Structure 1
Amino acid sequence: MDSLWSDLQKGESAVLLPSREQLLTCWSLDSSITFLNHGSFGACPLPVLAVQQHWRDRMERQPLQFFGRDLEALLDDARVELAAFVGAEADDLAFVPNATTAINTVLKSLSFAPGDELLTTNQEYNACRNALNYVAERYGLKVVVAQVPFPIDEPQQVIDAIVACVSDKTRLALLDHVVSQTGLVFPLTELVQVLTQRGVETLVDGAHAPGMLPLNLHALGATYYTGNLHKWVSAPKGAAFLYVQRDRQPTIRPLTISHGANATRTDRSRFRLEFDWTGTDDPTAYLCVPEAIRFMGSLLPGGWDELMVTNHALAITARRSLCETLQIAPPCPEAMLGAMAVVPLPDGKPMGLQDALLERYQIEVPLVPFPTTSSRLVRVSAQFYNHLEQYEYLAQAIAELLHEEGSMKKHQ
């Protein structure tokens, strides 16, 4: 493994580059499981985990040196490489453990007046919707929920549904970039533009976007944006970022107030001083982000561009296979998908079917209840280690289980 990683780092010629079969050994996923759920928690490659162990060893050899003298500069270096990857200035980024933490950070930092409206959609991730509800209840705010249809025919329907809910009381819009439940990629550039023109700040839950879609946060213009790095970038668990526009940074405070709150230093912004040290924890996941970016970008000759295109194409092909086998119409245009896709199944118990897929077929794939608890969407993810035969196997397994469900209903 070390020699394989070393070869990739040295940039050997195409003739000497590891084969796809060799590269697939860079993941420690259980070979007895057909793993089609990269979207939930990602899967960190072994070479990146080896780098994390290097950082942990350094941290434990001399903790005071690591935390007290070295860590600030190490975080700066990692943030510079992350900034180049997501199209932002390094000083506009803060490392956070996950996107849910970032959403909470922004919502709990802002001040609201009774009667203000918070706008979101019916497809917002449950954890983030809970954070929105908490703030609304605390300040006496109204949560307005735009009903984005699913199935859906075109991106304009997303824009129309959201814009129709904007009023002169709308203070903030919490929007997904890539929807967890439906896999939809929202037309974010257009949404941010139209909401900004109406004086509405935008808080974007981009949990799935980094590494799945090209990002240029500066050009996007969202007020606040968060993305997970343990998913499609494949960094270790506990690595995410929060982007805050420069003029809003004095308002945004970390959830944990620590030493930076009364620091007298003038060489760094208050935003930097507060977010870079909230207390003792393990920051090695953040320090591995540059290695994850480099490693995943080394898997294909075309780098990250080719990887994102390849994963998108595999997700589309996987959905076609499922739809054809199950005789189900695709619920959205292919252009509205990234590296995840969903297919609606007949109503039933989502967890029952999900459990059966794992217990009987050794397939790990989520069944999502949407929009009702009896409706079911099967969601597949596409990452470098996946291949078409896995999705064909899934389609056959679901067909068999649905046939059994149908037979049982006839005899009830």
Structure 2
Amino acid sequence: MEETQAATPLLGAAIRHEWALDWNYLTVNHGSFGATPKVVLAAQDEWRRQLEAQPSRFMRRILPDALRDAAARLGRFVGAEGTDLAFVENATVGCNAVLRSLRLAPGDEIVVLTHVYGAVRNTVRYVTERAGARMVEVAIPFPRPDSDAIVANLASALTSCTRIAVLDHITSSSALVLPIARMIEACHAAGVPTLVDGAHGPGQVTLDVTALGVDWYVGNCHKWLMAPKGCAFLYARPDRREDLHPVTISHGYGKGFLAEFDWTGTWDPSAYLAVTAAIDFHHRLGGAALRARNAALAAEGAALVAGRLGTETGSGNELAGAMGLVRLPLTGAATAERALALRGHMLDANTDVPLHVQEGAVWLRLSAQAYNEVGDYEKLAGIVADVLATHG
């Protein structure tokens, strides 16, 4: 697995010039869409220049090897062979490819977590409803999650009818870094294959998909690895590829995993090819040291905001990563509509933070990336306090 030995450089405001972000806007929501550095955008532009210089030559002569070279480099970063990886636009597309390739029968079950990402939940609904199968949800204790309880709840939900378990590596709504290795082990002990939605994994946590033993893993590169938008991967273990097909069937149908996924029709491949520049940038900022720094900053930021609001943080234990949770001190009903309205008011105040309803409360999710520093969360606390005073 590729890892940097470089020392962590000055971060926070000292390196904000590396991004094209508008710094009049408080950016503390890296987790939703990422933020691509200028040097990575420049690499993407160079690939686009080569493409447009002679599209036919590029697509036929340059792209096939360039795509596989990029996959090989990404594979080293996530602990896999390049031939184990196919590029996809985002983690949702990768999950769709796996789930819609399943041959379900009436009575079959797909296990998901209660904190499953909404788009993936809908995909599971789609494939189960069409087949007469059903979705089974595993409870995640919250706001004080416990690894042992999570694994036990998962194991107890697996039956002879379970065809696959869809597991989040890092939950979107609650920012939990789940004990994914133990969860995969529990599923395999019951003879159940696993699809891990690692949308927030690459670049936020150390990743070795081969060591995990997972059947399928999907990960976004445009979030925490900071590749261009629309860059993700699907890892498929060699024995789990025979019936796996992309969402779009094209000329490679029936010719194998890479033939099917590497070409699904004309598209701009520059985001995929620029992933190597994103990996270089991640290493330049410290790699593992950066990831540890971001996790510590997220915890500090969440504690600061919670203290200012007189409330509590969530998941402040070994399941915490580079995103933090703060419960909003609201009275009255905690509804999705109310959360959406409050988020709109925060957008009006020049910041954005996801607000999710969990266990009868509205929780704010903040992120910490290389360009953030403690002062950002002091500003966030002030904005949230003002919004709640006016609209809460």
> TM-score, with normalisation over the residues of structure 2?
0.93
Q: Unaligned 5+ residue runs, structure 1?
A: 1-10, 264-269, 407-412
Alignment CA distance shift 1:367-1:324 (3 Å): same
Do residues 305 (structure 1) and 314 (structure 2) align?
no
2: CA distance, partners of 1:209 / 1:19? 21
> Which stretch shifts more, 376-385 or 318-327?
318-327
Shift of 1:26: 1.2
What is the identity, as a one-letter code, of the residue corresponding to 2:250? S
Percent identity between the two aligned chains: 42
Do residues 327 (structure 1) and 310 (structure 2) align?
yes
CA contact (8 A) 1:148 1:162 kept: no
Task: Write out per-residue CA displacement over residues 173-226 of structure 1, whole angstroms, 9 at most, x where no aligned residue.
Answer: 011000000001110000000110100110100000100000000000111100
Alignment CA distance shift 1:262-1:88 (3 Å): closer
Q: How does 1:68-147 map to 2 (within 5 A)?
A: 68-147=60-139
Q: How does 1:199-238 map to 2 (within 5 A)?
A: 199-238=191-230
- Residue equivalent to 2:280: 294
1: CA distance, partners of 2:298 / 2:209? 25
Q: The residue matched to 1:95 in structure 2 has which SS?
A: strand
> TM-score, with normalisation over the residues of structure 1?
0.89
Shift of 1:364: 1.9
Shift of 1:46: 0.9
Task: Write out per-residue CA displacement over residues 95-144 of structure 1, whole angstroms, 9 at most, x where no aligned residue.
Answer: 00000000000011111221111000110000000000000011110111
Alignment CA distance shift 1:68-1:179 (3 Å): same
2: CA distance, partners of 1:20 / 1:186? 27
- Residue equivalent to 1:186: 178
Shift of 1:153: 4.0
CA contact (8 A) 1:154 1:333 kept: no
Q: The residue matched to 1:400 in structure 2 has which SS?
A: helix
CA contact (8 A) 1:120 1:173 kept: yes
2: CA distance, partners of 1:322 / 1:50? 36
Task: Write out per-residue CA displacement over residues 30-56 of structure 1, whole angstroms, 9 at most, x where no aligned residue.
Answer: 121101111001010111101111000
Q: The residue matched to 1:151 in structure 2 has which SS?
A: coil
Do residues 30 (structure 1) and 30 (structure 2) align?
no
Q: How does 1:6-405 map to 2 (within 5 A)?
A: 23-261=15-253, 270-299=256-285, 303-345=286-328, 346=330, 347-348=333-334, 349-359=338-348, 361-371=349-359, 375-405=361-391
Task: Write out per-residue CA displacement over residues 316-347 of structure 1, whole angstroms, 9 at most, x where no aligned residue.
Answer: 10111022112223322332111111112225
Q: Which has the higher contact order (CA 8 A, sep 6+)?
A: 2
> Which stretch shifts more, 164-173 or 186-195?
164-173
Q: Unaligned 5+ residue runs, structure 2?
A: none
2: CA distance, partners of 1:153 / 1:48? 37
1: CA distance, partners of 2:266 / 2:40? 23
CA contact (8 A) 1:103 1:128 kept: yes
What is the identity, as a one-letter code, of the residue corresponding to 1:355? G
What is the identity, as a one-letter code, of the residue corresponding to 1:327? G
Shift of 1:21: 5.1
